[in-house]
Amino acid sequence: MEKRKPRVSHVMPCSVNLLTATAGGKNDAMTATCMFISEEPPLLVVSVDKQSLTHEFIEETGEFTLNVASTNQVDLAKKLGATHGRKVDKFKSLGIGTEPGKTVKAPAIKGAFASIECKVITSFPVSRYTVYVAEAIDYAISEKVSPVAWHQDRYYKLTEEVR
């Protein structure tokens, strides 16, 4: 067996989410992955770089929206992962269409497979990140598009059930 430290991020398939946060009348977005902790209550976990504008907004408001990326948003997911909100308004520069949140200020991104509005329950620091545990308090799904997953630096359409 080869003795090397694998890039674990390449071993584990991940959800692809466009996380939005709002504070002081400004929006920010980033690409994130998410994991469910429990179904009832619906609890999720995400990690956010402490240096990001998104982090600043979540710390200020205690809320965010996870937009589950659709197959039409792979390019947007890549761009959000490489663009930093302190330097540029991502929504304007990337032409991101939004809809207002129902229960949080963070917007839903048009064209997403689902938008899940979240309130932070607790958080803790890990390395250069803050890990947020949040409750999903509202959501909307679009049956017109398909979600994507990320695995080994590639994006995959999730539409076929394996039996």
CATH number of the CATH domain containing 102:
2.30.110.10
Domain assignment present for 5: no
In a domain, 108, yes or no: yes
Global model pTM greater than 0.85: yes
Is 8 a domain residue? no
pLDDT at 8 over 90: no
Provide mean pLDDT across the span 74-85: 88
The tens digit of pLDDT for each residue in 98-127 reads 999 999 999 999 999 999 999 999 999 999
Q: Per the domain annotation, does 84 fall within a domain? A: yes
In which domain, by residue range, is 72 found? Answer: 17-157
Residue 162 in domain? no
* Count of domains for the chain: 1
Domain assignment present for 39 = yes
Query: How many residues would you count in the chain?
Result: 163
- What is the C-alpha separation between 112 and 143, in angstroms, rounded? 10
Stretch 45-50: mean pLDDT, rounded?
96
C-beta of residue 156 within 8 angstroms of C-beta of residue 144: no
> Does a structural domain hold residue 67?
yes
Who's near 28: CB < 8 A, 6+ residues apart?
A: 20, 21, 22, 52, 53, 54, 57, 85, 90
Residue 65 forms part of a structural domain: yes
